[in-house]
Amino acid sequence: MKLLVFGATGGTGRELVNQALNQGHSVTAFVRDPAGIEDIQHPSLKVVRGNVLDPVAVERAVAGHDAVFVTIGAGPARTTLREEGTRNIVEVMQGAGVQRLICQSSLGVGDSRANPRTATPMTPS
């Protein structure tokens, strides 16, 4: 399978990339900074530099993939990065006809447990 991983330089993303490669998948790692993944070398790994907030960059990355994984992190600061980035990804996937999405989130865990923000449901087209 051709897999695309957003957030591939974080702990979960890196583990996902390694496991997918070890299982024989072709993996595209979408990252802000390629230096965060340069220690992973594999003939089936393609690294794409981009910003998840840029729909054009997301569209270029999604094309031709069978499944998309989202492991976007934003650190401890309050931000809409995950929300806006995931929205971009889902909208692009719908347009491209990519139907497999796995999204990992820690919303509601730890410090965010007492104040989870409600999200607008995203419905398939």
Is 18 inside any structural domain?
yes
**pLDDT score of 122 more than 80:** no
Of 7-21, 29-43, 97-111, the one with minimum mean pLDDT is 97-111
Asked, for residue 96, whether it belongs to a domain, the answer is: yes
How much is the pTM?
0.83
Mean predicted confidence (pLDDT) in 15-30: 97
Tell me which of 48-57, 100-109, 115-124 is least confident.
Answer: 115-124
| Residue 35 pLDDT grade (very low, low, confident, very high; cuts 50, 70, 90) | very high
Q: What is the C-alpha separation between 57 and 60, in angstroms, rounded?
A: 5
Does 122 map to a domain?
no
The reply to whether 55 falls in a domain is yes
For residue 17, count CB atoms less than 10 angstroms from its CB and return exposed for 0-12, middle for 13-18, buried for 19 or more. Answer: buried
pLDDT of residue 121 exceeding 50: no
User: How many helical (H) and strand (E) elements, i.e. helices and strands, does the chain have?
Assistant: 3, 5
How does DSSP assign 58-77, residue by residue?
HHHHHTT-SEEEE-----SS
CA max distance for the chain: 44
Residue 115 confidence class, pLDDT cut points 50, 70, 90: low
pLDDT tens for 48-100 read: 999 999 999 999 999 999 999 999 986 666 778 888 999 999 999 999 999 99
Domain assignment present for residue 28? The answer is yes
Q: Are 98 and 65 in contact (CB under 8 A)?
A: yes
The boundaries of the domain holding residue 16 are 2-114
56 assigned to some structural domain: yes
